[in-house]
Structure 1
Amino acid sequence: MSFGEYLKSCRLSSGQTQKDLAEKAGVTIPYISKLERGKEEPPSEETCIKLAAALNEDPYIMIVKAGKMPSDFQQVILNDQDAFNYLKRKSKARLAQGGN
């Protein structure tokens, strides 16, 4: 599922129009429309957080669906060797199983 499809699904599930979402997230209606149609690159982390709040969704999921890594996740990975090693093991195991 693309980011746009995910965003539209969340918006429809919340019963909001593009106008509602745009107003709550502080963006324009055309921007929401372009995102949903895949005509705009996925938004920044900051905009993902605003969209998630407007949709009552998990901001971390929204950021990851946008193809980005939350900045606080990056800090944990860079500063916590145990967390880094865990993720590295999980990633290697998934690759070994033929996962994406």
Structure 2
Amino acid sequence: MIGNFVKNERVRLKLTQEELAEKAKMKATYLSKLERDQLPTPPSEEVLISLAYALQADPHEIIVKAGRVPSDFRDLILEDENVFKYLKRKVAEHNRKEDSNAI
């Protein structure tokens, strides 16, 4: 999931893995594994933010595509009961919609 996105963005910017790795301050071998979705766990939020800036992409989008919840999103959800209720309602609506499409 995150791997294809990163690779497509890198190719769009005409960067080699080595060039992107240098810009994102990571090893090219790590980036290669990330692009092939061969990392044992998703990258840390800090790594994903560095990668987002190197790709000129939205850090929140990359964090979510990596299967994580951005810490500022998490903080807001935990601090604001209305945000939590809103998201819970949206998830329920989404699930009902998916269930009705499966029939």
What TM-score results when the alignment is normalised by the length of structure 2? 0.90
C-alpha separation in 2, matches of 1:16 and 1:58: 18
Amino acid at match of 2:79: N
Counterpart CA distance in 2 for 1:74 and 1:49 is 16
Match of 2:11 in 1: 12
Partner residue, 1:62: 62
Matched, 1:22 2:29: no
After TM superposition, the structure 1 = structure 2 runs for residues 40-79 of structure 1, keeping only pairs within 5 Å, are 40=39, 41-79=41-79
Give yes or no for the alignment of 1:31 onto 2:30: yes
After TM superposition, what 4+ stretches of structure 1 lie above 4 angstroms from structure 2? none
- Rounded Cα–Cα distance in structure 2 between residues aligned with 1:38 and 1:90: 29
Structure with higher Rg: it is: 2
5+ residue gaps in structure 1? none
Looking at structure 1, the residues matched to 84 and 76 of structure 2 have their Cα atoms a distance apart, in angstroms, of: 8
TM-fit CA distance, 1:10: 1.0
TM-score normalised according to structure 1 size: 0.93
Deviation at residue 53 of structure 1 after TM alignment: 0.3
Aligned length: 98
| Deviation of 1:82 (Å) | 1.2
- Structure 2, unaligned stretches of length 5 or more? none
What is the distance in 2 between the residues matched to 1:75 and 1:38? Answer: 28
